[in-house]
Amino acid sequence: MLDDANDTMNALKSVTVDGKTTTVATGEGFSTRLTTDLKGTCSFSQTWTNSARLEQIRIGDVDYVRPNRAYLKMAGKDGTAKGEQKRWVKSPAKQTAFESEESGLSHCTREFGSFGKATKGDPTEVDGRRAIPLVVTDKAVKEGAYTFYVATEGKPYLLKVAYKGTDYRTTTTFSDFDKPVDVRAPAKGDVLDASGIEPLT
Average pLDDT for the chain: 88
Q: What angle do CA 134, 166, 3 make, to 5 degrees?
A: 20
Is residue 141's pLDDT more than 80?
A: no
Q: What is the pLDDT of residue 74?
A: 87
DSSP, residue by residue, 32-58? EEEEE-SSSEEEEEEEETTS-EEEEEE
- Per residue in 12-33, pLDDT (tens digit) is 999 999 999 999 999 999 999 9
Burial class of residue 19, CB neighbours in 10 A (0-12, 13-18, 19+):
middle
Q: pLDDT grade, residue 83 (50/70/90)?
A: confident
- Per residue in 154-174, pLDDT (tens digit) is 999 999 999 998 899 999 999
Beta bridge partners of 35: 16, 43
pTM for this prediction: 0.88
Name the amino acid, one letter, at 120. Answer: K
Least trusted range by pLDDT, from 38-42, 58-62, 93-97, 158-162: 93-97
Q: pLDDT grade, residue 138 (50/70/90)?
A: confident
3 state DSSP class of 166: coil
Sign of the CA dihedral with 188 first, then 19, 6, and 107 last? positive
Q: Which is more confidently placed, 151 or 75?
A: 151
Q: What is the pLDDT of residue 57?
A: 97
Q: What is the pLDDT of residue 95?
A: 65
Q: Are 40 and 33 in contact (CB under 8 A)?
A: no
Q: What is the pLDDT of residue 120?
A: 95
Q: Which is more confidently placed, 82 or 113?
A: 113
d(CA 51, CA 1): 39
Is residue 132's pLDDT more than 80?
A: yes
3 state DSSP class of 9: helix
Query: Among residues 170, 152, 172, which one has the least CA distance to residue 160?
Result: 172
Q: pLDDT grade, residue 199 (50/70/90)?
A: very low
Average pLDDT score over residue span 118-132: 95
Number of C-beta neighbours around residue 37 at 10 A: 16
